[in-house]
Homo-oligomer: A and B are copies of this chain.
Amino acid sequence: MQKLGQKARAASRELAKVDTGAKNRALETIASIILDSQNELAEKNRIDMEAAEANKIEAAMLDRLLLTPERIEAMAEGLRQVATLSDPIGEISNMAQRPSGIEVGQMRVPLGVVGIIYESRPNVTADAAALCIKSGNATILRGGSEALHSNQAIGACIQRGLQAVDLPGDAVQVIETSDRVAVGELLRMTDYVDVIIPRGGKSLIERVSQEARMPVIKHLDGICHVYIDGQADQEKAEAIAFNSKTQRYGVCNTMESLLIASSIADTVLARLAPLYEQAGVEIRGCQKSKDILGSIKLASEEDYATEYLAPIMSLKIVDDVSEAIEHINHFGSQHTDAIVTEDLSAARKFMTEVDSSSVIVNASTRFADGFEYGLGAEIGISTDKFHARGPVGLEGLTSQKYIVFGDGHIKE
């Protein structure tokens, strides 16, 4: 593992110097190699699938593990899309002359070596590598043990592609062992790894946060809220509250909790509740909402702090925007929260005071992702405030250094 780290550090120094054209050529070449290697990839994937089936792994996980021809094509397409994104590296900003006569600005540079730990989906190997290559970072990838052969085969395609355009193959390394101890060692290699990104379930993210000795870009829960204000347009409110919950259940930017201003709760619920019922969504509400709706289950404190990732939601009737903000800052997970209102003051207050990575006015929480935000692609969503917050794209994988120009200037 130490050797792997050293090789990654050396490759990161090389990659940091490479121009945009060469990085794009690498991505295009890797895409072609992946398409040309369809049979080999399918074969290696079959080994993983057979082992997983023998181990009686659950159906959803088996599905995520499977590499179909469509998924292999999507990987190649993903690589090509990253090639089309603009390169953040080398961008110079805020250049200005200072009273001393020197000129000071900032230049965008890679972070160095990015460690990524992920679960089952083998396509993450290609997606994550693409973003790291484009942002000039070397990467050490550690996928799930059940996808070992698939990940290695994809990793081999990536290394061949890098070498074909004279970039260091070590810029992308897939850890070859499924040994759990290797992860522990990776999380302590502060000399060789600049940042760790865990992508997967809560237990993985918690383990990484606890053990990593370097910075971690992570998101834990997505307990997202929609607040329907007293001044909401009811049609918009209905559409947004319904879409935020039901467009997809198992993802982090799905609404888990609906707050409604008491002044319009009756009329809003009269139209919304049947829609949720039709969609098979269970509502757990406060006493006031139970008084309106009748047969629903009462929500506990824990319900308001739960990311269901399922057709279940909590509901609370609040006095006004202030109570909604307080509730969100207390029970939310600082991920994504939305207000529906036509009242500018309420929108402004919500926008300023809700302490979440995405704050939305009059749109569905489901928009909170890197593609919708125009980042091109995302390596994850961060619910931390440090370094990167919200969807993390190429820029989140970079840093800025100060650059100074003088003409023999010395300090008096």
Q: Which residues of A contact B (CB under 8 A)?
A: 13, 16-17, 90, 96, 98, 100, 102, 104, 107, 109, 111-112, 194-195, 215, 233, 235-236, 239-240, 242-244, 247, 329, 338, 351-353, 355-364, 366-368, 372-374, 384-387, 389-391, 399-411
Contact = CB atoms under 8 A, between A and B. Distances in A.
A352 B352 CA distance: 38
A367 B17 contact: no
B364 A411 contact: yes
A367 B404 CA distance: 9
Copies of this chain, whole number: 2
A104 B373 contact: yes
A351 B102 contact: no
B389 A399 contact: yes
12 contacts: A13-B353, A13-B355, A17-B352, A98-B374, A194-B386, A358-B402, A358-B403, A361-B403, A361-B405, A363-B408, A364-B409, A387-B387
Contact of A410 (B239, B373, B374): B239
A362 B406 contact: yes
Given A104-B374, A373-B98, A386 B215 contact: yes
Given A96-B374, A107-B351, A385-B111, A368 B404 contact: yes
Contact of A401 (B107, B358, B402): B358
Given A98-B374, A104-B372, A389-B402, 5 more contacts: A100-B367, A102-B363, A233-B408, A386-B386, A389-B401
Contacts of A411: 243, 247, 364, 366-367, 372
A404 B352 contact: no
Contacts of A98: 372-374
Contacts of A233: 408
Contacts of A235: 408
A17 B353 contact: yes
A107 B360 CA distance: 12
